[in-house]
Amino acid sequence: MKLYYSPLSVYSAKPRIAMFEKAIAHETQVVNWTPATGWIKPEELARLNPKAQIPVLVDGEAVIYDSTIILEYLDERVPKPALFPTGVAERARCRILEDLGDTLLAPNLGVLVREVLLKPDPATRDASAVAQTKAELSRQYQRLDRELGKREYLCGEFSVADISCFSPINIASLMEGAPSPEFRNVAKWLSRMSNRPSVARYLAEFSEATAPLRASSQPVSAHA
């Protein structure tokens, strides 16, 4: 297998963590980003994915793009350890929570990049946009706190729901978008996630990739 990805891409984190979790041997093609050039995409990316976006997984003749579809493919291709619950209703709930990460958490990153990361001086920011974004994130954190309850992970066992929700929270936390301590279940879950070997391995990559961006106040993109 070969994965086209970037540690700076919120959606790339999903298959990367899943492949670490399942101990799937694979090659990687890192799609780099620099302030001067933007994304430096290999020529074949547009052929592999009509959207010319990452992540893209190549497995022999199979070419899969879209992080959600890639996760489903990986779980069928390498069933153990499973990243989806077994029951029909439980699997549906898992997919709903995965979608929460993709469509309710991740889209908020754009505003935080534009108004927080790129504008170190709070006086230059669109305060209304930042406040609205933080309020939306807080609503979603509150929901996750309820969903977690007494569970260690969102679906009981570690799953794609955890992977999908963790990635945007991890990035948002670098830009004043971290969950409030009042969400105790989320706080415990984040600690548990960060200490999980597959996630910790990804976080090491993420930290290395974001170090120069943090130093120069350059943006972290949601996807290529």
Reported as a single tens digit per residue, the pLDDT across 56-104 is 999 999 999 999 999 999 999 999 999 999 999 999 999 999 999 999 9
Q: Which class in CATH covers the domain with range 88-196?
A: mainly alpha
Tell me the one-letter amino acid at 75.
D
Global pTM reads 0.92
Separation of alpha carbons 54 and 48, rounded Å: 10
Here the tokens at position 177 are 């978008």
Domain ranges of the chain: 88-196
**Confidence band, pLDDT 50/70/90 cuts, at residue 126:** very high
For residue 198 the two structure tokens come to 């597959």
Helix (H) / strand (E) element for 208: namely helix 197-216
